Amino acid sequence: MTRSMLARSTMPSAQHPQRWDIFCTVVDNYGDIGVCWRLARQLAVEHGVAVRLWVDDLAAFARLCPAVAPALTLQAVGGVEIRGWQQPFPEDITPADVVIEAFACELPESYVAAMAQLEARPRWINLEYLSAEAWVADCHGLPSPHPRLPLTKHFFIPGFDEKSAGLLREHDLLARHAAFDADRWWADQGGTPAEGALTVSLFAYENRAVGALLGEWRNSAQQVRCLVTDSRVLPSVSAAIARPLAPGERYHDGALDLQVLPFMRQEDYDDLLAACDLNFVRGEDSLVRAIWAGKPFVWHIYPQDDDAHRVKLDAFLERYCVGLSPAADDALRAFWHGWNAENATVERWQAFAAHLPEIAAHTRIFCDRLAQLPDLAKTLADFCSAPV
């Protein structure tokens, strides 16, 4: 297969570098490939460039994009050329005009050497993890010269203001959410929720507070329709109800109506977020998608050994909570901190739930404000087309 065989939905634009390589290693979970896949598609579809996405774990990729065949080391999906990143790396690959190493994954040595041989040196980007912390403003865009070769890498850091790389957002995402037909979606999930029910999606890591949360919902005056994703939180749910639950199963107890969903296509996960009143999300990519859904959410941050995640969580809360009433602010922070504590709790759930209408209006404004910033694919395309 050659590049010319790849589908193109828009004509390449004249000003952007035309060939892009994105390298992705799947460390654990789905965030690394989730981000790279969105970026690759958006660059191809909205910026009309030829993208080659190198992924070391096609089986993980296929879970969120079932069109990917794990056994094929070369294939085209959604306008993107997908390559299995195997060892040893092929010697005959010509580096692209822009080379993105996602989340500091290490590029093949032979590939880096080939980059240095090219007359027009590629733009080399290290796409970092998202952070709301203040240091991002000082580090985003910084150059890092190679110690031996005539190459310079630039740091690209996604974030929440114009001094960062911005956030991934397709140009039509908010319009798609606005046009989303929730009634129809719920009908496909086995029935519209009871009148006045709180609808919740639950995507998280293992969490000891799940039992207490399900207890709150079971005893609540309001019906709770909870959709649990097939993720690391599922064993916590099964343990809490003392019954193994598999995708497709449903469980009723008191006011709680709980349903387990199979792991879904990435696009379908967006619909889930749009359909629910409250979304529990985790990691990086689902956090950003929850913001764009414009609904209240609770973030289970990826835990780090040195507790760096707590600083990151608070930096995000500082931005997100601006403008909330003191009572809603207190309840939200207490609940988020409890959910993320080592001995997790459901601190002030009832106060948090009581403030959901205010938090919903607030999140809508937060979403619209962030949508005024250029999205990550655009910042990247502009940066890479600027003269060196």
Distance CA 6, CA 268 (A): 24
- Closer Cβ to ligand TRH, 54 or 203, answer by number: 203
Let me know if 32 is a catalytic residue.
yes
Distance CA 183, CA 276 (A): 11
Residue of 202, 318, 310 whose CA lies nearest to 251: 202
- At its nearest, how many Å lie between ligand TRH and the CB of residue 4? 30
Sign for the CA dihedral angle at 378, 383, 384, 386 comes to positive
Tell me which residue has its CB nearest to ligand TRH.
31
- At its nearest, how many Å lie between ligand TRH and the CB of residue 31? 2
- At its nearest, how many Å lie between ligand TRH and the CB of residue 277? 18
- At its nearest, how many Å lie between ligand TRH and the CB of residue 357? 26
> Over the range 201-240, which residues count as b (16 or more CB within 10 Å of their CB) and which as e?
bbbbbebebbebbbbbbeebeebbbbbbbbbbbbebbbeb
- Closer Cβ to ligand TRH, 200 or 328, answer by number: 200
Distance CA 213, CA 220 (A): 10
Identified catalytic residue from 56, 271, 284, 285: 284
Residue 16 one-letter amino acid: H
Tell me the DSSP string of 267-281.
Answer: HHHHHHHHH-SEEEE
Q: Which residues bind ligand TRH (CB under 6 A)?
A: 27-32, 34, 64, 129, 203, 229, 231, 263-264, 266, 269, 282-286, 302
- Closer Cβ to ligand TRH, 263 or 383, answer by number: 263
- Closer Cβ to ligand TRH, 29 or 75, answer by number: 29
β pairing state of 256-260 and 250-253: antiparallel
- At its nearest, how many Å lie between ligand TRH and the CB of residue 260? 11
- Closer Cβ to ligand TRH, 280 or 352, answer by number: 280
Catalytic positions are: 32, 284
